[in-house]
Amino acid sequence: MADAKQLLRSFVEVPRDSHFPIQNLPFGVFRRRGQPEDPPRPAVAIGDFALDLAAVSAAGLFDGPVLSGSPCFSQETLNMFLGMGRPAWKEARATLQKILSADEPVLRDNEALRKSCLVPMSDAEMLLPITVGDYTDFFCSVHHARNCGFIFRGPQTPVNPNW
């Protein structure tokens, strides 16, 4: 029996070789190409489109207990959304897969809403999705220190004793 997520189909035409079917909706931030005065907007990719999450949110489609009324998708980065943690991420993905599914009319059958939410990737300029707050030194991980040490010092002493 096939997994239900694999059977999920979107009303958005997704090329067969696309990396962004309904099962893989990567988050990002975009601005409409040629409109530098417009603020950046959170989105997910679906086929050859960016789904504008600010427009989805403004339409009231995030109606679950965590995201309903949240301003996280009206921000210029994904920082607030990411800071909300796993419950928000799961709710967002479930909501997005639902509204993009072939069986759900809320976006599929509303042409005006669909046009405001779905932006062709050719019209989207992708931007840095988060504000980086600080530097992260990956040598705090013994695994990374060992891998880099192996490259620089060889297998005899990949991690210095003073690590």
Q: Which residues are identified as catalytic?
A: 144
27 three-class SS: strand
Residues 6 or more apart whose Cβ sits within 8 Å of residue 19: 45
Sheet holding 124-127, edge to edge: 118-120, 49-52, 41-46, 27-32, 124-127
**What residue type is 138 in one-letter code?**
F
- CB count in 10 Å sphere of residue 153: 12
**What residue type is 22 in one-letter code?**
I
| Residues 18, 48 contacting (CB under 8 angstroms) | yes
State the residue for tokens 């991690």: 159
